[in-house]
Amino acid sequence: MTEQSAWDGRTYYDEPQLRPAPFNNALVGSYIFLAGLSGAAQLLATVVDSAHGPAAPPTVRRGRYLALAAPVLGTLCLILDLHTPRRFYNMLRLIKATSPMSLGSWGLVGFSVTSAVTASLQFAADRLRFSWLRSLARLTQIPAALTGAFMGTYTASLLSATSTPLWAAAPKSLAVRFASSAAASAAVALGLGERNDRRRRDLDSIAVAALAVELAATLASEHAECQAGIGDPSHSQTARPIAIPLVLLLTSLVLPGRLGRTLSAVGSLALLGGGLAMRIRVLHRGDQSARQPYRSLRFAQLDNLPRT
């Protein structure tokens, strides 16, 4: 490469060098949250079902119904976000491995179909008491769980496979953050309606573990952004929305009876609210980084090229 002098830090009249994603952050953030919640709920329901045998407890039932949130509400959010909504079906014209949006559209279709079938079988089994309905649901839940795992995390690769500096700087830690947040959200969502105390505490324990992973990944993201030269020192509060539910849930695990249950509920709601807010905040901060030419030009420097 022709040697040029290093960048002197000046921009072109401070005009943006990149374009931010034209998404409605509330709609897309909600979809990402719901996709994670539903996908992980289906996966978690499958795990509980595998552990407790064919007598599917209420937890599994709730998980299978919760898995319908993304197919129903999330799909609506996505269609409304399109700038020519009446052509939404064009998403299924082809499948493209380089486009997480293409993979995700098909993933959403696969997850929706398999989850709808599983939930319908659950609904029928509860009313008709044919044992083969339950057995069939145990089969269909497997592809639903696998596509659910994909749903919980592909949205991070959707953001990272762009030129937006904040999203592109730390693709792996962003994926870990979205995945662990999804798992934590599903665990507490199932725990909120859980009457069995021991199972609720198990679900809360899973949420605590997932939150710990999310906290570590968030710190890793911030470190990667600083290494890439695009760190935003004014924004160092990202640990708090994770630490608060983490502490609440951890405390609820050691406290007995009514107090423990109340703390668990409060911590669960804080986690769910925090999860949705995190997605919207990531979108908003990403758009900001795309609009700031100093950061986007700093990101596109030779020291940030992937090592081959």
Partner 1 sequence: MQSIVGTMVIAQEGRFQLLDRDGVGHQFLLHYGSAVEPDQLPPLLNRRVRVSYRSAVTAHIIGHAAVHIDLLED
Partner 2 sequence: MEMHPRVLDHAVSDLDGLIADEAELTAGVRIRPGRSYGFFTDTTVCIGCKACEVACKEWNNLPADGIGLTGHSYDNTTALSADSWRHVKFIETGVRDDMAQPFQSGWLMMSDVCKHCHNAPCLEACPTGALFRTEFDTVVVQQDICNGCGYCVPACPFGVVDISLLDGKAHKCTLCYDRLKGGLEPACAKACPTDSIQFGELGELQERARRREAELHRRGVTNAYLYGAPGEAGATGGLEHLNAFFLLTAQPETYNLPRAPTRPADRVAPSLAAGIATVLGLAVAALSLFTRRA
Of residues 64 through 123, those in contact with partner 1 by CB under 8 A are 83-84, 86
Let me know: does 70 contact 113? Beta carbons within 8 Å: no
Encoded amino acid at 264, one letter: S
Query: Does residue 301 bind partner 2 (CB under 8 A)?
Result: yes
Q: Give burial (CB, 10 Å; 0-12/13-18/19+) of 23.
A: middle
Instruction: Please count the residues of this chain forming the interface with partner 2, following the rule CB under 8 A.
Output: 91
- 92 token code pair: 């299924």
198 binds, among partner 1, partner 2, none (CB under 5 to 8 A by kind): partner 2
- The footprint of partner 2 on residues 9-28 (CB under 8 A) is 10-13, 15-23
Q: From the CB of 146, what's the least distance to partner 1, in Å?
A: 36
* Binding residue for partner 2, selected from 120, 162, 251, 288, defined by CB under 8 A: 162
> What are the residues whose beta carbons fall under 8 Å from the beta carbon of 221, sequence distance 6 or more?
169, 170, 173, 174, 177
Query: Does residue 229 bind partner 2 (CB under 8 A)?
Result: no
235 binds, among partner 2, partner 1, none (CB under 5 to 8 A by kind): none
Instruction: Write 81-89 long-range contacts (CB < 8 A, 24+).
Output: 81/23, 81/24, 81/27, 81/28, 81/31, 83/22
List, in sequence order, every beta strand (DSSP E) within the chain. none
172 binds, among partner 1, partner 2, none (CB under 5 to 8 A by kind): partner 2
22 binds, among partner 1, partner 2, none (CB under 5 to 8 A by kind): partner 2
C-beta closer to partner 2: residue 99 or 262:
99
**CA 201, CA 76: separation in Å to the nearest integer?**
34
